[in-house]
Structure 1
């Protein structure tokens, strides 16, 4: 190689100094490196680290969850409409990130539980079901429950004694059959909707600016279920039963009733 003294360059890493005939120049520090040390992380590029630390990174952006102790991040912003902070999908609901606005409301009114009960029953009361129909729905749910338990899908981490079973009719445009599913009684209707969408790979526009949202309705009367109401409270008030049939549909934000419930068939 004495005949080609200028061919190739030595790696700038002090402990390497390898002669490379196809050397690489770092865009960060401008030094030359061999194939083993060409990436910034492989030669501890101080200049690249400075660019990243000062927010000058030009690659794909991501947004970190602000919930204490969570390292999750998303490619899109998931902002709480109450406190305006950013969270991952697991902490996007108010009760899941201990929303400071929710705490202030509880401290001021000291009637937060009563408020939640009013919100939970609001949608059901907008389209009340006659007592005879309620009794019929309760009986039908009991009959359906055993069959649902045999085939239901859901988060297997939910304890058996906390599971609530529904036959879920999926959005008509998906052309998917109704699915028996189970959820935790501690969840809100909003989280139930998210779980159904995830399990069935249905597009969920609920955290976007879309005028269409995924909402859940009672199959027997078409009444809207409030997204902030907990399943446990709905069961206590008999707006829902363990074994009930519900409809998931993408509707305008002001929709509070589905009239064509008979079109949703198993």
Structure 2
């Protein structure tokens, strides 16, 4: 909804009538608008200033017209010819509740605060200016709303337990660690295809699955070959039934190659030179035969 700001004006309530000294709202502050009982007794040469909204009356001895008196009044910044004069305005009984303040305008009157049910001058009319007790009540109301919202959120959004990830428990293998001597030894003992050039060979240790009872063996493959091709060759070497081409990836009978000792699953599409290095140990095993442990992702 659009609001025409130009039509908004401040309205200080209540407003005291300078004639009958009663208080009225902004729309009924003028004598004729509230049928003032003292208007008939007032001089008919009184005129209202359009800027300050006060009644204006020129002194009799100056013999000014209403227009001249009004013009002089405006030039004096609305100080001259006020009717009735300041010293004739009855003192307002109600004073500003702020201790020591005597600034209630006798022409405007006190401003009533609904929060604490007290009267104040224009300067102290805002709740924050006079330390209104309603501010504490409103602050407590905000705290209560915030606590209620937090309680509702806690019931609506139940915290989820940390996600689990699966790791394969390490399998005891006869892994070897060596250097040049070990490499020379494995080269003299490893089995493999004679068609693989010596410069293209990768020498590794292989341990077969439980069902084959094959102990640790030294073999070599073409390092350009894929892990999947090496898996097929190792399965043939261990004389185990390889059904990888006919079963699903989640089938417990599926054969996989794991790098020891951390039991990292090797990607079948990777070349051997990327997945392994000389003297590494691999385990051929069915994925359903390995012990799987669930741990929190945060670990």
TM-score (norm 2): 0.35
Structure with the greater alpha carbon radius of gyration? 2
